[in-house]
Amino acid sequence: MNEIFITTPDGKQPVQAHVKGGLAIHRTRGQKHRRYTITHIPSGLSIATKISSLGEARQKVEALLALWDFSKSEAEYMAEIFNANNGLMEKMKEIIPREIY
């Protein structure tokens, strides 16, 4: 486990997380039920929330890492995800259909 910082309404907050390739899996903050979140480490922004198990979160991370290098900066991530020509957003929606991007 590693400590990373996530972006919250109160600013950056530390959490313990499993880290791989620029993505982190950690417990969803503020949830009654113990769920998992996948966060883009350089930006601290969540990619997916409310994942029911650690195993499911790990599968999603592996699939996401096959799409793009998530260790890149927040600016590069935002430019890539909103670039309609590359289809990254649509591919991510196939992996995480109901989640937050």
Condensed to tens digits (0 to 9), the pLDDT of residues 63-100 reads 999 999 999 999 998 898 888 788 888 889 889 876 54
- Give the model's confidence band at 101: pLDDT under 50 very low, under 70 low, under 90 confident, else very high: very low
> Which residues, 6+ apart, have CB-to-CB distance to 84 below 8 Å?
none
* Host H or E run for residue 58: helix 54-67
DSSP annotation of 47 reads E
pLDDT in tens, 3-46: 998 888 888 889 999 999 999 999 987 766 789 999 999 998 89
Burial of residue 45, with CB atoms counted within 10 A of its CB: 0-12 exposed, 13-18 middle, 19 or more buried: middle
100 part of a folded domain? no
Q: Which domain holds residue 48?
A: 2-95
86 part of a folded domain? yes
58 part of a folded domain? yes
pLDDT in tens, 35-44: 999 999 999 8
Look at residue 54 in the predicted model and tell me its pLDDT.
95
